[in-house]
Structure 1
Amino acid sequence: MSYASIMVSVDPGLHVPSRVRLGAGVAERLGARLVGVAACQPNYPRGYGETSVSSALNLEKIRQAALDDLAAAERVFREAANGRDRVEWRSGLTDALGFVEEQARAADLVIVGRRGTDGGPDHGMAVDAGAALMGLGRPVLVAPQGVEAVEARHVLIGWKDTPQTRRAVSDAMPFLKRAKSVQVVSVTEREDGGGVEDVAAYLALHDVIAHPIRRRTPGVSVAEDLREAASYFGSDLIVTGGYGHGRLREWAFGGVTRDLLGQCNACCLMSH
């Protein structure tokens, strides 16, 4: 497997240029196309009298404001992409998450931001990482604020013997094949460690040298154990499954997924 098309979600947040530069760096290393996507829903007031001339003029101003926001997002994207070849821009006057879900059909990997307290205004254009993970049908790389590159020379796999994690390992293969070291970490009370040796042997068949690591007793939390292991091994990429369920776009996640989405300083590649 390879990545031929990498998509990055763009919004007016303060850290978006870093996210685009991260995506551009990955695209350049892998010889992939870089696609920037953004959408903005015009903030039309409810119950507006659209039959009058003045109402129509006001509606057009609202629509133009949304177009201006999209134009500004495109400028940020193209400037951060720094004139690289094979760059494409897609935007729409619609719901941001729905638009990215639609456009994800043209991507192998989608990069979104991890929200924080200093991200700046988003004008409704920011895509929630958890919602993207659950709805895109593509692997999602969650970039922390301010992180401009993911070298992925040292990669940590947070292993749990589930379909989601198996899918994540397969989806991450372009990174794993180029990594200098890969650690497969299982935090479980199972005697077999959830099959970490099997995973390492499977990766060896793909010319990925991986080292199985079993931890029988978790510390504060599994997510904290993974973060500590990533720091110890110098891993700037954590690969794991994403777990959750949704109802009416209100997503509820298990503890590990929730904690990694909310607090991890390393990039996380997740599949659902």
Structure 2
Amino acid sequence: MTYATVMVSLALDQPNEARLQVAGELAERFEAAIVGVAAAQFAPPLYFTDGAEAQALIDEGEASIKRRLAGLEAQFRAAVKNRGGHAEWRSAVDYPARFVTAQARCADIVVSGGQSPAFSDAFSLASPKDLVMQAGRPLLVVPDRANWLDLRNVLVAWKDSPEARQAVADALPMLHKAKDVIIVEIPEQGDDRSAVMAGVSDVAAWLGRHGVTATARVLEAAGNETPAARLEKVAGDVGAGLIVAGAYGHSRFRELILGGVTQYLVTQTARSVLLSH
């Protein structure tokens, strides 16, 4: 398995340098095509008028978006020049999440920036949470401070679920290039530790048959510590440059209230994360 096409999602009013750098690296490593994609929708002001004045306002707003998208295209082409194979740009005046998830049909993996915990504007930003739940492709979330894709130590945050199984399969091309791969599961209270260890060992053996040497570990149950906090500590201890995990989502309202490991993974700023749903 390899990545034949890498897609990178760019955003207005957001730093794009890190995601462009990592997407370019992926295209080079796998001799892949690279597709840049961006969209934004004009948001009428609250004091919106009607008639000819309204149409003029809409026209100017959409023209401004098109100019800014052209600027993103120029940034994309400058960043990926001489990197990887074929380079292509796609953009539209549209809701970003809707446009990017539609275009993801042509890609093997989508690269996005992270998201701050603050409210995000659906008119100008394709939220990584929306992308991973809707795109049907693995999402590589790159922190704004990243300047390369560090695959020396990769942490697989395992949970015996369809999402985690898909994430490990989607990450295989990167795991082949990793120096050390550690599979970690944080059991829940009352779980049979030996059964959990058998499951993690199965994953390590499966990876071994694909040519990836991995170490299996089962931690103590989180107790008073949240699973996200425990995962952060382990990632720091092993020096993980990349976390691989399944993405678990509820409704937007419930996710906002409950938070959770997926919420943490798309907002943390220390390392890149590959998520699959």
* TM-score of the aligned structures, taking structure 2 as reference length: 0.88
Gaps of at least 5 residues in structure 1 are none
Shift of 1:60: 2.4
Shift of 1:44: 4.1
Change (3 A) 1:251 1:73: farther
Q: Deviations over 1:239-262 (max 9, x none)?
A: 01110123xx65626611122222
Partners of 2:170 and 2:74 lie apart in 1 by: 31
Counterparts of 1:233-272 in structure 2 under 5 Å?
A: 233-246=238-251, 250=253, 252=255, 255-272=260-277
Which residue, out of 193, 202, 207, partners 2:196?
A: 193
1:12 corresponding residue in structure 2: 12
Q: Which amino acid aligns with 1:190?
A: D
Alignment of 1:210 onto 2:214? yes
Partners of 1:55 and 1:255 lie apart in 2 by: 43
Shift of 1:148: 2.2
Q: Deviations over 1:57-76 (max 9, x none)?
A: 44322221111111111122
Q: Deviations over 1:119-160 (max 9, x none)?
A: xx9793221111111111111111112212113122110010
Q: Is the 1:8–1:20 Cα contact (8 Å) retained in structure 2?
A: yes
Secondary structure of the equivalent of 2:264?
helix
Partners of 1:200 and 1:3 lie apart in 2 by: 22
Counterparts of 1:93-108 in structure 2 under 5 Å?
A: 93-108=93-108
Q: Deviations over 1:72-114 (max 9, x none)?
A: 1112222222443421110001111100010000111111111
Instruction: Answer with 28-37 or 75-84: which moved more.
Output: 75-84
Change (3 A) 1:205 1:258: same
Q: Is the 1:12–1:123 Cα contact (8 Å) retained in structure 2?
A: no
Q: Is the 2:5–2:34 Cα contact (8 Å) retained in structure 1?
A: yes
2:65 corresponding residue in structure 1: 66
Shift of 1:19: 1.2
Partners of 2:259 and 2:117 lie apart in 1 by: 22
Q: Is the 1:204–1:210 Cα contact (8 Å) retained in structure 2?
A: yes
Partners of 1:187 and 1:265 lie apart in 2 by: 20
Gaps of at least 5 residues in structure 2 are none
Secondary structure of the equivalent of 1:245?
coil
Partners of 1:132 and 1:190 lie apart in 2 by: 34
* TM-score of the aligned structures, taking structure 1 as reference length: 0.89
Counterparts of 1:109-258 in structure 2 under 5 Å?
A: 109-116=109-116, 124-188=123-187, 189-191=191-193, 192-193=195-196, 195-218=199-222, 220-246=225-251, 250=253, 252=255, 255-258=260-263
> Percent of pairs identical after alignment?
36
Shift of 1:165: 0.2
Shift of 1:238: 0.3
Q: Is the 2:43–2:123 Cα contact (8 Å) retained in structure 1?
A: no
Q: Is the 1:108–1:138 Cα contact (8 Å) retained in structure 2?
A: yes
Shift of 1:225: 2.2
Q: Is the 1:17–1:77 Cα contact (8 Å) retained in structure 2?
A: no
Secondary structure of the equivalent of 2:160?
coil
